[in-house]
Every structure is written in structure tokens, then in C-alpha cells.
Structure 1
Amino acid sequence: MTDPTPDRPRVAGAAEAAGVAATARAAVTVVVAGGLAADRELLAELAGREFAALGVAGRLVEPPDAASFATALDAAAEPGHGVVALPGADPEVRALMEPPRPYRERLVWLDLARTGPHPAGGALHLYGRGVNGLTWAVRAAAHRATCRPRRVTYGPHPDQYAELLLPDARPAPVAMLLHGGFYRTRWAADLMDALAADLAARGFAAWNVEYRRPDRHGWDATVSDVAAAYAALRTLGADVDQDRVAVIGHSAGGQLALRLAADLWAAGRGPALAVSLAGLVDLVECDRRDLSGGATALALGGSCTEIPEVYAASSPLARLPLGGPQLVVQGAGDDPDLVDFNRRYVRAATGDPVTYLEAPGDHFSVIDPAAPIWAETAARVEEALRPAG
């Protein structure tokens, strides 16, 4: 069943969640610490369901102590093998998160509880999604077992990084990805893994950005991180074509993408295209309608009546015209409020070159590489970033 609430991504199948092609040769081991407070049969059921959906070989193991836990992590050293590690509260096991490992890009640490970002030796750290977080962790491990993204930091905080996937042909046009999750910290850049793999296969340099979310760090930190991640594209050198950049955001990330583009275009520079996928393009109405339990006011630091100037600077609808080309994509079966926001946004954007694509699909079809709406979206992005001549 589809959950249309933007901050609660649904559990989907292989093509929808991680891409069958990207995981066809992968194997995943789930390593569970002995003291973890979770039913083992349920963990095995969730992991097994995802192994089958993704078409990967998988197993769940429970080492008796920290030393054997460390040995189990070494499964990630095998080519095409990813590991999900659930450390629990055991300090000896948690200490294993600190040292970098040569295979860290194929390792996913999962805390079921609401903890916080851990440096994790350069590996991915997911937290705060409860037991169902295992589903997402298995997907992420399967993705990393075959795609091998390269992590690039753009600041000192553990959440200030982007993962880069490069195609064979260089310099490549750039697709900068901004994930959603209604600005809540428990949702992270792994939500865009499947899209990153698909875009790299299409010849793009996929720049999948993590950023400090405002529920813990404040709105200014989020806005500045997104701008810093865009500026960090300059550090990638000849691998990327700096003149062909598309900023692509989903849900809350759609708002961030349009806000970033507007700021850059106002400064006389910026991306060749801004793409909003089921974006939160009207933050004032997001707040007035109390979507996702007041998530907008929590993110921005107050309601639209308390801090109208922040909403005026942040809401894409309030910023029109933004000053550059945009592609606005919306699934017709999504939350009706989002359909309403996006239709009204496009009608109001008379001063900008805006293309609107509305097609069958829900909130997550727009980031599903197997969905027709994404195939059409990708074709529009490829056309917009095609080199002159």
C-alpha cells in the first residue's frame, strides 16, 4: 500500500527501491550485535523479504562478541558484497564504527534508535527509522556493493558530504540530487541511491548530496549546506562539465533545489536546469495545512505568520519568477495537496521558462527508475543538458 505522506517513504520492490540491474550481482550480510533490543525472527523476516525483492544473496548472522563482530564485517571486503551492521548499545561493538576500513563504501551501519550522525569511518550511517530501517539499510548495502560511490566531504560535520558516481565518458554533465523526508534527520541521501545509479548509467555524474537537516541544526544550516555542496562541484575538476548542471530535488528536496537555483540565478550564475520532483513548492500552504504534523514550521523555525520573511525567501511560489529554466514533475496519484501546490505553481510561473510534467504515479514514482514518469523526466533532463551543436 502506498503511503502518500511525504516524510514516510513506502516499502517498495526491487525495481522501485534499488534498481534490479544495480543489484543483480550483489550479496548482503546483516550482522546483528548480541545485545540489540529487537526480535531476531522479525529482523530475519524483513531482511529475507528484501533479499528476495532485490534478487541478492543474503544472510543474517549474530556474532557472540565484538571480536567476531569485527570478523563478520570483513565480508564487505569481498567484491560485490555489502554489509549491514547493527551495533546496538555495546560500547565495544560501537567502537568498531570509528576506524576507516578499505571497504567502507560497502558498509552500512544501522541504529534502530534516534541517535545522530556518526563519522562511521566514511561508511554510511542510518538511524532513527526503527526496525523498518533494516529494509532501507539492505537496499543501501546492495547498491553500494555494485555501484561503489565515492564520498566527498564539503564541510566538517558528518552530514556534510556528497556521494559521487561517474560514468565512463568524461567530462560528464552533472545531476545534483537533493533528497526529501520533510526536513527530518532520519531520512537521508540513501533515498536517492537508485536515481543516482540510473543517472550515472545515462552518462551523468550523479552528485548525491547529504546535508544537515533543520530539525536538529536549523534552517540556515540546511540552506548553507545545499549551497556549499553546489560550490563543491568545482573540486571535481575535469571529471564534470561545470556548464551542464541540473539540480534535482524530491519532495522537500524539490523546494531546496528551486531555492538554490533562485539564489544562484539572482547572483548571475547557477544551474542549467532546476528540477522539482513532487516538490514542496508552496511552503506557506504547507504550514497552513499543517502537513506532516507541523514539519514546515519545525524546519523553518516558526509559522508563516511568525516569520513571514523566512517563508518569502524560501518558498518557491513566493520567489517567482526564479530566473531560469525549470522542470516541475508531479505524480497524479500523489497527495492531493502536492498536486494542488504544483499545478498552482506552474500557473503562477509566467515569467520563467517552466515545463510541467504530470503523469500517473505516486509520491515515489518520480524517483523510481522503473517508472514511466521518471523515464520521461530523465529524457527531458538529457535534452536540456545536451551540449550545443
Structure 2
Amino acid sequence: MRPLLFSIALAALALTGCEAPTETRPPESTSKSEEAPMSLMTWKDLLTRERPSTAHHIRTGPGTSNVIDLWLPDGKGPFPVVIMVHGGCWQKSIADRTLMNFAAEDLRQRGLAVWNIEYRGVDEDGGGYPGTFEDVARATDLLRDYADEYNLKLDRIAAMGHSAGGHLALWLAARPKLPRSSPLWSETPLHLDLVVNSGGLADLEASAPVTQEGCLASIMDVLTGAPSGQRPDVFSDTSPAAMLPFAARQVSVNGEQDRIAPPILGKHYTKKAKAAGSAASFIQVPDTGHVELIAPGSEAFEMEAALLTEELKR
């Protein structure tokens, strides 16, 4: 159980839900009753930019959610790799992997290959538990099968996940902690050296009362599955916070003004990770909301790109 004072602090930050937009884009990062400061980016600011694309698409099965976009730098390589996981409240009606195209292209130009994965959302057939987790795990492990073809370096691998994708990216790093009894267990999960948790919802239990209700609380049962006699704690194999410690270095980057993933979540998760023995750190970026975290040119994204570049090019 979380301490009472922390629970009160989380509840005080909870927002009223926002309507999901009709287009595939994340919800606004402020409530309708509270106008965002002019200095904060909106989704419109990001999505009206010219969206880059890549010519490399890897099909992993039938349907729109079984695909990986590979962004390759110029040259012959070998190229270090960032596994990228999009957010969108675990819901495909809100966002898909193309939201990360701006970030992927920026990292590509810095000499990093980007393995931008798709997965079934909780609003898709087979999504939730265990399907969403199985999708990101399979897409990540497939990197090994394509490393030679695309001259990808696998000696050090980083991941970056935004919002709900931060949760999934950290979960990927935590997979070695899964018990054999879990449907999500695999014998040889890909090892990750660094995870950049970008405005992520890494602690599902702590995040539910803080972020928008439609983003997590209302879909929690689908995302984590129902408890059972064999699995009484649904967070034990779904929430990175319940799977600590694990080997990957973790950096949580939060915007000071983020209303989807307030910085208290990153601080709390980092404190928990350190206490468990993980290498974890927290960065709070001033005058920053949720969107800037994946917007090239912003202070927040420059910090994240530097973390990834330093890890993979050293």
C-alpha cells in the first residue's frame, strides 16, 4: 500500500477526463476548464508539422498492429538502435506509432537507428492483457532477426517510450523478472541497457488516480487482466514498479507542467526504483508539458536525445 500522504497528493492532482479526439492523436494535455499557458506546446503544434516517414516497414503478422517501422541513418553502419514505443493511453483510437515519426527522424539524423514498434491497444481485438504485452515483446525480440540484414549494433540497446509507451518500454526491460508461471514469460528476452521513460506512467497503481480517468482507470481491468488464484496480484507481471529491481538504467523525464503524467509520478517511481536497487534518475524540465517530450527542438527532447546518443555512441 502506498503511504497515505502520497495517496492524498496523487488524488489532489487527478484531472477530469477529456474527450478522445476523432483523429488518431493523443488527448490534450490540459483539462477543458484550465487553459494551458501559452508557453506549452499543444498536440496541434506538433501534428501540423510536416510528418516524416520511412521506407522500411517490417510485417510481423496480419492486421495493422503487426508492423515495425525501421528508421536507418545514412551510411553503411553498423548502427546503434533505439527501440521506440508510442503512447496514447494504450488505445489505438488515440495514437499509433506514427506519432513518434518526428522523434524517430530526429534520432535517425543523429546516427541512431530507430525500431518503432506497433502493438494492439486495449480497444482492439486481442489487446490488453496479455495481447498488448505479447505484441511489444515479440516486436522487440524480432530485432535480433534483422540485425544482420540492416547492420544494426546490438551490443548496447536503448529504449524510449512516451506516456503509456514509457510504461511498456520499462516493462520490456523488466521482462527478465517475469515468473515462468506468467503467460508473458519468455526464455530469452532482449536485454536493454537504458530506458528513457518520457512522461511515462510506469507505476500503474500510482498513476491511475492521477492521469485522466479515460487514460488508465477506466481501462485498467483490460490492460492488467483480472486477478485469479494463480495470479492474485495483477500488477506483478504488468507494472514495472512491481517488478523492480531490474538491470536497465532508467531515466524518467517529466515536464514540470505535464497534466497527463505529472512529475510526481516520475519522482515517485524513481524513488521506488532506487530503493529497490535499480540505477534510476529523474529529470524535471521547467516550462514543459506532455507534448514537448517528443517534439524535436524542445529542451526536453534535446535532453532525451542526448541521453540516448551518449549511451549508444560511447
TM-score by length of 2: 0.74
* Structure 1 segment 186-335 matched on structure 2, within 5 A: 186=93, 187-216=95-124, 217=126, 218-238=128-148, 239-264=151-176, 270-288=191-209, 291-293=212-214, 294-302=218-226, 309-335=233-259
1:362 has 2:289 as partner? yes
1:175 has 2:85 as partner? no
Contact 1:243-1:272 at 8 Å conserved across structures: no
1:164 has 2:83 as partner? no
Question: For 1:130-188, what per-residue CA distance to the aligned partner results, in whole angstroms no more than 9, with x for missing partners?
Answer: xxxxxxxxx5xx423xxx33110122333111111100241111111100010112121
SS of the residue 1:174 aligns to: strand
* Structure 1 segment 332-347 matched on structure 2, within 5 A: 332-335=256-259, 338-347=262-271
Aligned to 1:32: none
Q: 1:336 to 1:219 in 2, by over 3 A?
A: closer
Aligned to 2:10: none
* Alignment partners' CA distance in 1, 2:120 and 2:305: 27
- The unaligned stretches of length 5 or more in structure 2 are 1-15, 21-25, 29-41, 179-187
SS of the residue 1:163 aligns to: strand
**Aligned partner of 1:232: which letter?**
L
Aligned to 2:273: 349
Q: Could you say what the CA RMSD is over the residues aligned between the two structures, in angstroms?
A: 2.6
Contact 1:265-1:324 at 8 Å conserved across structures: no
User: Larger relative contact order (C-alpha < 8 A, sep ≥ 6)?
Assistant: 2
Which residue, out of 53, 58, 65, partners 1:152? 58
Q: 1:4 to 1:362 in 2, by over 3 A?
A: farther
Question: For 1:227-277, what per-residue CA distance to the aligned partner results, in whole angstroms no more than 9, with x for missing partners?
Answer: 111111123233210122111110000000000111047768511211210
> Looking at CA atoms only, which structure, 1 or 2, has the larger radius of gyration?
1
1:378 has 2:311 as partner? no
**Aligned partner of 1:155: which letter?**
G
1:143 has 2:64 as partner? no
SS of the residue 2:107 aligns to: helix
Report the CA distance between 1:285 and its aligned residue: 2.5
- The unaligned stretches of length 5 or more in structure 1 are 18-49, 55-138
